Structure 1
Amino acid sequence: MRILDRARELFAEKGFERTTIRAVAAAASVDPALVMQYFGSKRELFGQAVQVLPAPLTATDTEALVDQLLASLGLKLGGLPEGTLAVMRSMLTDQAAADHIRVALGRQIAGVGAALPADEDPELRAALVVTALLGVTIGHQLLGLTSLREASADRIAALLRPAVKALAGPPE
């Protein structure tokens, strides 16, 4: 567990490319051979370090769904698990990280799409909601955009609510 914890921290801070087995081993106060024995490769270590399961949607109507989606944004702005940060930081430079994000986002999009009215393009509308929230999260957590960092999660959610509601509600 100590090795995975240190690996999550380093992958979150430096990304996949700049994190080494030696650095993980040193941070965990173990021999690099032990890391290799348990995980086999840097790729396997990364895969185990970044495993995060999204919370299932439980909303039963559009208003509750919007509330739940915006509440999850508040949690993301408050801080993401290091495994998630590691994947996000690595997704543009490492194909495996990009694949991992694509699968995770696909699950989230499917979950949101299933909760939307099926009238018209629920999967596309879900993809727009999920990626809009992802963009805000990236701007806040990874890029540290001042306007996002200085605004409260409640203020950001209030400004996003009409757009998320428009995408989540039945098409007009």
Structure 2
Amino acid sequence: MLTAAEARDLLDRRLGGTRLVRHCLFVGDLMAALAKRLGAPAELWRATGYCHDLDYFAVDGDWSRHGLITAGALAGRLPEDALEAIAAHDHRTGCTAATPLADGLKLADALAVAEEALGRSVFVTRLLQYVPGDTLVAGRPWLDTIIGQTTARLGLELIEITTMLPNSEEPERDRR
């Protein structure tokens, strides 16, 4: 299995020097925190989060392939549920996966996108004050749907998630 450290190295090689590295580190580190809370394997969840956007530039604007390319490239290096989560993390692929790992990835990715759009302090304030039906990020209503549905399926509250958010300035390098 691909370790989180190996996934981090792969991330640096494929996306180094781009804003996506910070995004993937945020997602992977939040995934590890979610895994610990849910009693799931944190190393696997972190590696899955680190790798989820490796094909971001390879899709060349064809978002129906986003996640599928990465899942194919990592076949045999990650378990099937991790590959399914990566393939299904973007709704535009048409792939679905309803495992806790897939829900965790969708949730962490949506939260990372919202945090990037709003900045940490506004993001946390909005999460703490969020009421279903509110709009977290203007112009991105799908984030509210993803966040609402996945937190419910995972049995989590947004206030709890705010305590799990990775450091926005320096996501963790790796926790072996």
Please, what TM-score do these two structures have when normalized by structure 2? 0.29
User: TM-score normalized by structure 1?
Assistant: 0.29
Task: Identify, as 1 or 2, the structure richer in helix.
Answer: 1
Task: Tell me which structure has the larger Cα radius of gyration.
Answer: 1
